[in-house]
Amino acid sequence: MNVVHVAIRTIFIVGGIAAVFLIAVVGNAKGEEVIFSEGFEDGSNTGGWSYGTLSETIVTVGGNPDAYFGVTNYAAPFPLPRTTQVSVFTGNYRSKQVTSVGLDTSIFYVNLGLTEGRPMSVILISYNETPTDYSDDWGAYFVGPKNIPAEGAGWDFFDINIPSQATSLPPGWDFIRFGPSSPTSFDWNNIITDVGMLSFHYGHPAMMAIFQDWDMGIDNMRITMELSPGDANCNGVVDDDDATIVAANWLTTDASWKDGDFDGDGLVNDVDVTLIAANWGSSGTTVPEPSVLVMLSCVGLWLLTRRTHAKR
């Protein structure tokens, strides 16, 4: 117990020493805008994006730019690229302060050529606490102001605002049921705090359409959040998991936010540790795990020692 108390004292004393310096360099240490974008480079597919067909694949050239996630002979009335895994694109949008989601897309070929008048829409889907039972899923959707690109028109971009801080259904949004067991009454707060799947819908979700064969691609799948510095895994909470990420990437160069570089200097170092300390407990986290405290306290002692020597 004494070790834990000493570790906590060390972390926050060090954080206090660095506070004035950080304000000068970083400015506001709260609510930093973070944009996570999946460009499918080197085979990456954060979120497990899928069209729901076997003919989908990551294509290494021809995207916007370079790699993209493509599909051929995709038989569907509306293309529905969506996430299939827990990731930065899912979870508690309110705590992550999500402000928008977006993608780039290009339609290479449609056998019937029916693409006009189809607005790009977004659907936030709830698993209704039963991820393996799709019969009770439901969602909230928004129909964007911009139509999907025409066949052969090249890449176009779409960004849709997400009112994650609203406490009731926002204007322009509506609910949708996906199965016979889906609820008949809905609560915006339930879905915005537990998004199970993010889906883009190439048309109005409440409208009908005939099946067509699509050759198309998506790229730069993105989500914009306002996160507390220290939230490396972008889940809206500064906690043990974030400290572990910083430890694993300690002194890494050419680093990004997800590696633990919260001040944008490309390096995971003592500045980033003090930001974790300053924001520890954001979104309700309490005391760090003892193993994480030991790691942070060692870094804190190193930082304190280095600054003490610098003054001599």
Domain edges within the chain: 2-30+237-311, 33-225
Query: How much is the pLDDT for 227?
Result: 87
Confidence of residue 55 (pLDDT cuts 50, 70, 90): very high
Query: How much is the pLDDT for 95?
Result: 93
Confidence of residue 299 (pLDDT cuts 50, 70, 90): low
Percent of the residues in the chain that have a pLDDT greater than 90, as a whole number: 70
Query: How much is the pLDDT for 308?
Result: 52
Q: What's the angle, vertex CA 120, arms to CA 212 and CA 164, rounded to 5?
A: 140
Query: How much is the pLDDT for 25?
Result: 29
Query: How much is the pLDDT for 3?
Result: 30
Mean per-residue pLDDT of the chain? 85
Percent of the residues in the chain that have a pLDDT greater than 70, as a whole number: 80
Query: How much is the pLDDT for 87?
Result: 96
Query: How much is the pLDDT for 94?
Result: 96
Q: Which of 229, 238, 227 is nearest to 262 (CA)?
A: 229
86 has a pLDDT exceeding 60: yes
Query: How much is the pLDDT for 297?
Result: 55
212 vs 279: which has the higher pLDDT:
212
Query: How much is the pLDDT for 32?
Result: 87
Confidence of residue 235 (pLDDT cuts 50, 70, 90): confident
304 vs 54: which has the higher pLDDT:
54
Instruction: Give the Cβ contact number of residue 117 at 10 Å.
Output: 10
* CA dihedral over 87, 90, 95, 100, signed as positive or negative: positive
Report domain 33-225's class: mainly beta
Q: Render pLDDT for 100-109 as a digit per residue (tens, 0 to 9).
A: 999 999 999 9
- 8-state DSSP, 267: B
Query: How much is the pLDDT for 66?
Result: 97
Report the pLDDT averaged over residues 225-252: 90
198 has a pLDDT exceeding 80: yes
Confidence of residue 210 (pLDDT cuts 50, 70, 90): very high
Query: How much is the pLDDT for 292?
Result: 53
Query: How much is the pLDDT for 24?
Result: 27
Cα–Cα distance for residue pair 136/126, rounded to 1 Å = 9
Bridge partners of residue 221, in order along the sequence: 38
Cα–Cα distance for residue pair 226/90, rounded to 1 Å = 15
Cα–Cα distance for residue pair 266/120, rounded to 1 Å = 35
Give the 3-state secondary structure of residue 203.
coil
Asked if 106 and 69 touch (Cβ cutoff 8 Å), the reply is: no
Q: Which of 177-181, 189-193, 232-236 has the lowest mean pLDDT?
A: 232-236
289 has a pLDDT exceeding 60: no
299 vs 97: which has the higher pLDDT:
97
10 has a pLDDT exceeding 80: no
Query: How much is the pLDDT for 228?
Result: 86
Q: What is the pTM of this model?
A: 0.79
Confidence of residue 22 (pLDDT cuts 50, 70, 90): very low
Query: How much is the pLDDT for 7?
Result: 33
